[in-house]
Amino acid sequence: MLAEITLRTLWVCGSALVLALLAGVPVGIVLGSRRFVTRGLLVSSVNAGMGAPPVVVGLIGSILLARSGPLGGYELLYTPYAMILTSTAIALPLVIGLTLASVGSLDEEWDLQVRTLGIGRGWRIWLLVREIRMGLLAAVIAAMGGILSEVGAVNMVGGNIAGETRVLTTAIMMHTSMGEYEVAAGEAIVLAGNLLVLAGLLTWFQQSGRTR
């Protein structure tokens, strides 16, 4: 059972992380490299989202996915897909915000210098991603930590159903409330171990990138 819960945790976390990166990195690059009328409002919204309580995100997700909600027809509530969507919503502002900060830390003349070299748009984007790769790795680590450590929001939309939506965080909460501290401690060790291993690998990539 522990192996099943662990695999489900990693699947939910990995799926949410990929979705957050696919959506968040391009938005962060645009907000960091362009100036337009509504940019200030959008950046403020991202900053607010980075500090938003996850339980509020879970509440909004529950309302949207409930049978009477606007997305109720998809019947996603109390499924792993609802947990993935909610976890993505939690991680997305972190990815956008850290990507935005990384792009903003570049020299103001960087884009102009690249343009003067006659480099095409596709290669400019690739060079930009290489320039901010340390910030992107930080975004991955922060988003991954936020997803793996979340319990309230995923419990609200997932329901902690045995064999279907139970993940390590909700299992720890359940066994702790039942007084089964040894079981909860074992699950906590597995969760912390997964987080340390993943964060360690990403940190190794980050540090190796700095030496190049």
Q: Is the overall model pTM greater than 0.95, yes or no? A: no
Provide the token pair at 37.
């009328």
- What percent of the chain is modeled with pLDDT above 90? 63
- At residue 87, the pLDDT reads 96
- At residue 134, the pLDDT reads 86
Please say if the pLDDT value at position 153 is more than 80.
yes
Q: How far apart are CA 26 and CA 202, in angstroms?
A: 21
Please say if the pLDDT value at position 211 is more than 60.
no
Please say if the pLDDT value at position 95 is more than 90.
yes
- Tell me which of 42 and 119 has the higher pLDDT: 42
pLDDT band at 210, cuts 50/70/90?
low
Residue ranges and CATH numbers for the domains of the chain are 2-120+131-210 (1.10.3720.10)
Look at residues 69, 65, 66 and name the one whose alpha carbon lies nearest to residue 89: 65
pLDDT digits (tens, 9 = 90+) for 37-61: 899 999 999 999 998 899 999 999 9
- Tell me which of 35 and 158 has the higher pLDDT: 158
When the pLDDT of each residue in the chain is averaged and rounded to a whole number, the result is 89
